[in-house]
């Protein structure tokens, strides 16, 4: 909470809404099992995304965290239904930017729009995507717009959770959230904003 006081963008969002005190990570406590639990609402043993690196004995295919063609095969993702598939099945329009799995046909469904995931999107590209997301929401083209930002996670894994690199990444995200909040206010776009964090 001390760090939150120095982050006006996140602080404003907390003051306008709610913040969880903690998150109990899924087991195993790895990125993709936790990510897919958040996206599907299911535990690992149900959604079957059991690791960041997996091998399928039947197909001899590998799932590797990051950009890997075989990781885009639907059978890795079909263990449960992520929220964007549920929305599409309910005739809602979904736009996703850099979101892992949005470029996969999951249970026969893709979002209306997906800007493919790639490792470590620049702050500039994230900011552009967030601006486009606000535009499609404001124009009524999308019922949901989701933008994935990986820099905080990458810096935390590389340098540690208390490192200056991770703190700088969080400050950069906060600056972009301030810009996003201002644009929402100026455009008078009423949205619900969620910022999930998958590691607890």
For residue 97, give the 3-state DSSP assignment: strand
Distance CA 141, CA 178 (A): 23
For residues 141 and 61, give the distance between their C-alpha atoms in angstroms, rounded to a whole number: 37
Reduced to 3 states (helix: H, G, I; strand: E, B; else coil), residue 106 is: strand
Q: Distance between CA atoms of 79 and 82, rounded to whole angstroms?
A: 10
Catalytic residue at 31? yes
Structure tokens at 170: 């969080």
Phi and psi for 13 in degrees, rounded to 5? Answer: -65, -40
Active-site residue identified among 31, 37, 131, 158: 31
- Catalytically active residues, by annotation: 31
């Amino acid at each position: 909470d001390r760090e939150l006081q120095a982050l006006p963008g996140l602080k404003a969002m907390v003051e306008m809404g709610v913040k969880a005190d903690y998150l109990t990570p899924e087991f195993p406590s790895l990125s993709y099992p936790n990510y897919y639990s958040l996206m599907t609402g299911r535990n690992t043993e149900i959604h079957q995304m059991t690791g960041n690196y997996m091998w399928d004995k039947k197909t001899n295919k590998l799932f590797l965290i990051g950009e890997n063609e075989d990781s885009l095969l639907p059978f890795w993702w079909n263990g449960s239904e992520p929220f964007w598939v549920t929305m599409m099945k309910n005739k809602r329009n979904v736009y996703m930017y850099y979101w892992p799995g949005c470029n996969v046909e999951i249970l026969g469904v893709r979002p209306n729009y997906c800007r493919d995931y790639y490792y470590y999107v620049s702050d500039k590209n994230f900011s552009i995507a967030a601006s486009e997301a606000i535009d499609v929401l404001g124009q009524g083209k999308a019922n949901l717009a989701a933008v994935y930002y990986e820099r905080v996670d990458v810096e935390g894994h590389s340098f540690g959770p208390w490192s200056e690199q991770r703190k700088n990444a969080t400050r950069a995200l906060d600056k972009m959230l301030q810009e996003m909040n201002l644009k929402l206010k100026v455009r008078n776009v009423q949205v619900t904003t969620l910022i999930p964090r998958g590691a607890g």
